[in-house]
Amino acid sequence: MPLPSSCPIEFACVPEHLVADAIELLIAVFTYAESLADVIPEMDEYIKFVIMFMASPNYIRNSYIRQRMVESWVCVSATEVITILEGSQLCLEFLVRNLLELYAGKEVIGSPNKLQFRKSILEILGCLWEIPSHRDAWRQIAEEDTAFYVVFLNAVINENIKLLDNDFHRILEETEDEMSSTEDMEHVPSLWMQESALDFQFDKDMIGGCMSYITASVGMLAFTSEQIIVPFLLPHMVDTVVTMLNCYLSHFRSFHIKTSVSRRSMECGYCLEILLKQIVSIYVHLARGDSENILAAAISKDGKSCIKQLFIDVGRVLQEDSLVPEFIALGTRVNDAALRAVQTEVSLGDIPNDFLDPIEFNLMEDPVILPSMKSVDRAVIQRHLLNYSTDPFNGLPLAQEMLIPNVELKVKIKKFIISKQCQE
């Protein structure tokens, strides 16, 4: 490792079904064995095989087989996974990176089992975080190869935003409807109760997969954000992070969470109260490491504001949680940041069109020139490139290294700001 880019002919000639059958057999063993303690010492070769090839499409082209390699570990208890992986040097060097790369890989996006596969990756990553050496390796990747880690982080957060738009409100509505209907259950015929229970079970099964992914992904963001902060607060990442967090809070506030979450969510298997605590912990973890108030400023720009009251409302729900005082204090910082932003906007007055980013129409801080000769803010175009590889103005291929700093425009913008501040 790392493997050569070209696959040897001897390996290429191995029939695909041999590998597929071997993995399916192992999954069956992992699933039904009462304990793997006796066979763990014999699993070294399988561990090496999975680590070497699960992120190597040049060697195993069938993405489904590589997905099943990852999913095989989910059939093993977390304790046994930790026991198997913590002593492997190959795991320490390559496993975390391979899993992060697999999660964000383009071939996963079109898979019908995308959520289940990504959830499997998150579960294995959760086990690795419990092993100090692997946690250090994870942190090292985030610190030394931040661009790579941001791609993974962006994929996790965008998946959550998509589910928030499409499915999460259905989960809350289903929970609330079922909660309210139980109050009158004793007054309706038993047949209706049975039909209602069947309907609810059907809906729960349909959205259960979405919710299990959400809890796994938000949980991962919660425990990693306590020690990995910088990638979340990068200029081209922080707005996406805030969009996800604020959307969750808004959904929860619109839901009658005080009376419903703690009791009904556990019956439905959704654990909404735990999810809310995880969201709050992400806010607090990032705020603790944010000496420049980057997070507060980004939250204050979000369109779902009345933020201070939103933070207070959620704090009341989780009043016994130890993070609530810090969470409410963040709400105050956000309110202050919003007031400063309004004052700045008033003091700047009319901003010349040339100084505005043509995509988001905000005052540019670090303008860059695209091959299409358009000047845009660096953070805006970097955020665009996390999801697309084309110029937003002409559709031609675009990459980070093609961005040219517009030094002259940056100087003009700075002079404009200074002149307005002097007038003020």
- 381-390 in b/e form (b: 16+ CB < 10 A) is bbbbbbeeee
What pLDDT is attached to residue 279?
92
Element (H, E) at 108: helix 106-109
What pLDDT is attached to residue 266?
46
Domain boundaries, the chain: 9-109, 145-178+199-348, 353-422
| CB contact set of 293 (below 8 Å; sequence gap of 6+) | 333, 337
Instruction: Classify domain 353-422 at the CATH topology level.
Output: Herpes Virus-1 (3.30.40)
Radius of gyration for the chain, computed over Cα atoms and rounded to the nearest angstrom? 25
Residue 269 falls in which region: left (phi positive, over 0), alpha (psi -120 to 50) or beta: left
Report the C-alpha gap between 214 and 207 in whole angstroms: 11
Three-state SS letters, 254-293: HCCHHHHHHHHHHHHCCCHHHHHHHHHHHHHHHHHCCCCC
Report the C-alpha gap between 106 and 88 in whole angstroms: 28
Report the C-alpha gap between 42 and 34 in whole angstroms: 17
What pLDDT is attached to residue 117?
86
How many helices (DSSP H) and strands (DSSP E) are in the chain? Answer: 20, 3
φ, ψ for residue 390, nearest 5 deg: -130, 160
What pLDDT is attached to residue 109?
67
What pLDDT is attached to residue 271?
67
CA–centroid distance for 78 within its chain = 22
Structure tokens at 413: 């913008």
State which residues of the chain have pLDDT below 50. Answer: 179-188, 192-193, 198, 200, 202, 258-269, 305
> CA triplet 367, 369, 370: central angle to 5 degrees?
130
